[in-house]
Amino acid sequence: MHMMVSKPEQWVKPMAVAGANQYTFHLEATENPGALIKDIRENGMKSCSVARAEVQWHSQAYLCLLQVGLAIKPGTSVEYLAPWANQIDMALVMTVEPGFGGQKFMEDMMPKVHWLRTQFPSLDIEVDGGVGPDTVHKCAEAGANMIVSGSAIMRSEDPRSVINLLRNVCSEAAQKRSLDR
Ligand SMILES: O=C(CO)[C@@H](O)[C@H](O)COP(=O)(O)O
């Protein structure tokens, strides 16, 4: 869940109970990111113990996880995210202003992605906003391994092939990175 909300603290428990497996909040929306990260992890553990009583063991791995994502808006410098990078599962670099789909991709966010990939090679890095066949290469080459794409898929006459293309570009870039290492 990408929570583009002003008080992300209040939705952790309801999301954990509803079965979310990832909770992404905005760095700009909280005064205490460390406490929120801890709370997300603890809520994941609680939903895990409830799940243990209710489900078969093979479902537990999924239900036990409430991963932490940390998002930054275009105006937020990546250095503000860096201190938390070792405590999170995914960093989300917004490439549009949060609000609505169909906006233009901000290429000038790519140095943030590249910097994060260099500093934190195994971190999941997501890019969201204006990503489609024309822009996905830039994201993948900068180091993103997760992308969000709305309009490019929904407005296409062949969504399946767009999804496949986006997926392939990201996985080929990731493969190349691991070979280069
Ligand atoms: O929610 C947001 C922005 O607020 C994004 O998730 C966009 O909605 C993605 O859509 P496109 O930019 O790909 O159309």
Does 123 lie in the same domain as 50?
no
- End of a domain among 68, 87, 107? 68
Helix spans in the chain (H): 12-18, 33-54, 57-64, 110-119, 136-142, 151-154, 159-180
Q: For 113-145, write each residue's pLDDT tens digit.
A: 999 999 999 999 999 999 999 999 999 999 999
Does 147 lie in the same domain as 115?
yes
Return the CATH number at 101: 3.20.20.70
- pTM value is 0.90
Q: What is the ipTM of this complex?
A: 0.96
- Cβ(96) – ligand 1 distance below 6 Å: yes
- End of a domain among 68, 100, 118? 68
Best of 103, 105, 156 for a ligand 1 pocket test (most atoms within 8 Å of beta carbon): 103
Q: How many domains does the chain have?
A: 2
Does 113 lie in the same domain as 41?
no
Q: For 146-175, write each residue's pLDDT tens digit.
A: 999 999 999 999 999 999 999 999 999 999
**What's the CA-to-centroid distance between 118 and ligand 1, angstroms?**
26
- Cβ(100) – ligand 1 distance below 6 Å: yes
Both tokens of 167, joined, read 């997926």
Name the residue range of residue 154's domain.
73-181
**What's the CA-to-centroid distance between 8 and ligand 1, angstroms?**
19
DSSP code, position 83 = G
- End of a domain among 35, 68, 101? 68
Does 61 lie in the same domain as 88?
no
